Amino acid sequence: MGKGKVYLVGAGPGDVGLLTVKGLRCLQKADVVVYDFHLNAQILNYINGSAEFIYAGKRGGHHEMTQDQINNVLVQKAREGKIVCRLKGGDPFVFGRGGEEAEILSEAGIEFEIVPGISSAIAAPAYAGIPLTHREYSSSFVVVPGNEASTKKDTNINWEELANFNGTIVFLMAVKNIELVTKRLLENGKSPDTPVAVVRWGTRADQTTMVSTLGSVAADIKDKEIKPPAVVVIGEVVKLRSKLRWFEEKPLFGHRILITRQYSPAIERLEELGAEIMEFPTIKIVPPENWSELDKAIEKINTYHWIVLTSKNGVYWFFKRYFELGHDIRDLQGLRFCAVGTKTAEEINKYGIKVDLVPEEFRAEGLIEAFGGKEKIRGLRLLIPRAEVAREVFPEKMRALGATVDVVTAYRAVKPSGHAKRLKRFLSEGKITIATFTSGATFNNFCEMVGDDARELLKEVTIAAIGPVTRKSIEKKGLKVHIVPERATMEDMVDAIVEYFSKGK
């Protein structure tokens, strides 16, 4: 096979929004992704679903793969003619061994590209409200590897010059060696009163920032049990944090919110308010096993008075099949459309179709009232293209009042095949504060995917349900539902979450 190509991509420090556009494009076209531990798991959701995932990271000092093994995998997969994305935290050329990997690829004759990422050396201080340069405090900065602070004779650090450097000093990988770092600087003349900030998990929901001085920081780190990963910032610019801290002031800062459906624009508001999103879809939307029901209904489409669409998914799959069968939008002339919910109505409008009815209430009784009550329902013919499994209350009540209702399967909601190992770890470690469920199926699938301890893992989590039916499914498991919006839309659930926490809950 012809030689493939390797992209060495920096994934940034943690906030998924800091992944570059070019990095995202490389991810989406990759056949193989070789990734590290210190990544936001959300980035992996952007990878082509058919791509091969290879975990090469380390956690707690345990290496999943040696550097030689990683190098060999990159060369081997590229020689198989595959597009390989080597996904690294931060920037691949800032203490990321990207240069070493690029050398190996060059020697092997493998085509490669470097896609820079935002280094934690820059991002973590910025999210803590600490500018590395400022005209009144520092006109330069230096980034130093903290693991070089040892007694070895071949260290590349000139501690005397560093101690007398007038700019900002940023140490990466220094927490474990902080006593040696501070000792070297102090014994070479750096003032013990020099301001120091330690930013752990910078740009993430877990971000914590400790301010100290050079003379006290080692003891403070030990006292507060601060563990890696953390960035240490030394210099007068640390004083600006009290004025410039912005990330930690956001109303939802510190919250990591579990979303059990696919990402939607409504969720962006939660991120804008400081929350970190953990996307773990427990439902995957797929076509019906066969189209016979919907095809039959479409062929006699003009015999109906109303088409009732209950979701954006229903709109998409109905029109997708409608056009695949060679029909024209003009063939729908004379038909009336009912949309359950404003977002469903907006989706229908995209096809140039005016929606005739958007009921104020989403319950069966409200829908029946919207159709004019008992007197006007008899004799109506309705088509409802929807999910394979859904509630039958509305169709049954309409039939009881004399309407003809054809309910056909336009799509299926199935359980994805993904594993929940990382999610379970985050829940058990208390790293998820809010869990959202948009249907009974999303919750039940969640329980199946997580396993027998799902209830125990959710006990201390604030739970949001999109409506009363979803709430009942959750409460059957003995869990408390804290947030239920008045209307069953994602936008209203987001509003309810914001309101709940604005009251100090």
The DSSP string of 22-91 is HHHHHHHH-SEEEE-SSS-GGGGGGS-TTSEEEE--EETTEESS-HHHHHHHHHHHHHTT-EEEEEESB-
Which of the following is catalytic: 3, 58, 343, 415? 58
β partners of residue 257: 277, 434
Burial 305-340 (b: 16+ CB within 10 A, else e): ebbbbbbbbbbbbbbebbeeeeeeeeebeebbbbbb
| The pLDDT of residue 41 is above 80 | no
Whether 361 and 330 have beta carbons less than 8 Å apart is answered as: no
User: What pLDDT sits at residue 64?
Assistant: 73
Structure tokens at 103: 């050398």
Q: What is the CATH number of domain 5-118?
A: 3.40.1010.10
What value does the mean pLDDT take over residues 444-454?
93
1 pLDDT band, cuts 50/70/90, is low
In the chain, how long is the greatest CA-to-CA distance? Answer: 93
Helices H / strands E in the chain, number of each: 20, 21
User: What pLDDT sits at residue 238?
Assistant: 98
Looking at the chain, the whole-number percentage of residues with pLDDT higher than 70 is: 95
Which of the following is catalytic: 82, 173, 190, 210? 173
| The pLDDT of residue 61 is above 60 | no
Secondary structure class of 248 (helix, strand, coil):
helix
CA distance 366 to 358: 11
Tens-place pLDDT, residues 107-125: 999 999 999 999 999 999 9
Tens-place pLDDT, residues 206-231: 999 999 999 999 999 999 999 999 99
Q: How far is CA 288 from CA 50, 66, 229, 285, 410, in A?
A: 21, 45, 46, 10, 6
CA distance 234 to 165: 11
| The pLDDT of residue 101 is above 80 | yes
Whether 397 and 375 have beta carbons less than 8 Å apart is answered as: no
Task: List, by residue range, all CATH 3.40.1010.10 domains of the chain.
Answer: 5-118
CATH architecture of 286-414: 3-Layer(aba) Sandwich (3.40)
User: What pLDDT sits at residue 150?
Assistant: 61
User: What pLDDT sits at residue 266?
Assistant: 87
Closest CA to 118 of 104, 134, 132, 106: 132
Task: List, by residue range, all CATH 3.40.50.10090 domains of the chain.
Answer: 256-283+417-502, 286-414
Q: For residue 365, what is the DSSP state?
A: H
Sorted by sequence, the CB contacts under 8 Å of residue 50 that are 6+ apart come out as: none
Residue 248 exposed, middle or buried by CB count within 10 Å (0-12, 13-18, 19+): middle
Q: What is the CA radius of gyration of the chain?
A: 28
Closest CA to 59 of 227, 180, 203, 231: 227
Catalytic residue status for 36 = yes
What value does the mean pLDDT take over residues 326-351?
91
- Please state whether the peptide bond connecting residue 229 to the residue before it is cis, i.e. omega within 30 degrees of 0: yes
152 pLDDT band, cuts 50/70/90, is low
Catalytic residue status for 173 = yes
Residue entry with tokens 């050396």: 121
| The pLDDT of residue 198 is above 70 | yes
Residues 85, 86, 87, 89, Cα dihedral to 10°: -160
Sorted by sequence, the CB contacts under 8 Å of residue 261 that are 6+ apart come out as: 281, 282, 283, 436, 438, 442, 490
| The pLDDT of residue 437 is above 90 | yes
Q: Is the dihedral of CA 71, 72, 74, 75 positive or negative?
A: positive
Mean residue pLDDT across the chain:
91
| The pLDDT of residue 434 is above 90 | yes
User: What pLDDT sits at residue 188?
Assistant: 96
362 pLDDT band, cuts 50/70/90, is low
Centre a 10 Å sphere on the Cβ of residue 156 and count the other Cβ atoms it contains: 7
Which of the following is catalytic: 36, 190, 398, 490? 36
User: What is the model's pTM?
Assistant: 0.84
Tens-place pLDDT, residues 286-328: 999 999 999 999 999 999 999 999 889 999 999 999 999 999 9
Sorted by sequence, the CB contacts under 8 Å of residue 62 that are 6+ apart come out as: none
CA distance 74 to 35: 11
Whether 278 and 164 have beta carbons less than 8 Å apart is answered as: no
Whether 10 and 116 have beta carbons less than 8 Å apart is answered as: yes
Q: For residue 107, what is the DSSP state?
A: H
Tens-place pLDDT, residues 409-422: 999 988 887 778 88
Range of lowest pLDDT (68-77, 142-151, 259-268): 142-151
Catalytic residue status for 210 = no
User: What pLDDT sits at residue 484?
Assistant: 97
User: What pLDDT sits at residue 22?
Assistant: 97
| The pLDDT of residue 171 is above 90 | yes
Residues 15, 16, 21, 24, Cα dihedral to 10°: 140
Angular region, 60: left φ>0, alpha ψ -120 to 50, beta rest: left
CA distance 27 to 393: 44
CA distance 377 to 338: 14
CA distance 290 to 257: 36
Range of lowest pLDDT (144-158, 243-257, 277-291, 361-375): 361-375
The domain over range 256-283+417-502 is classified in CATH as 3.30.360.10:
no
User: What pLDDT sits at residue 367?
Assistant: 75
Range of lowest pLDDT (3-7, 24-28, 63-67, 233-237): 63-67
CATH architecture of 122-247: 2-Layer Sandwich (3.30)
| The pLDDT of residue 60 is above 60 | no
What value does the mean pLDDT take over residues 84-97?
94
Distance separating the N- and C-terminal Cα atoms of the chain: 59
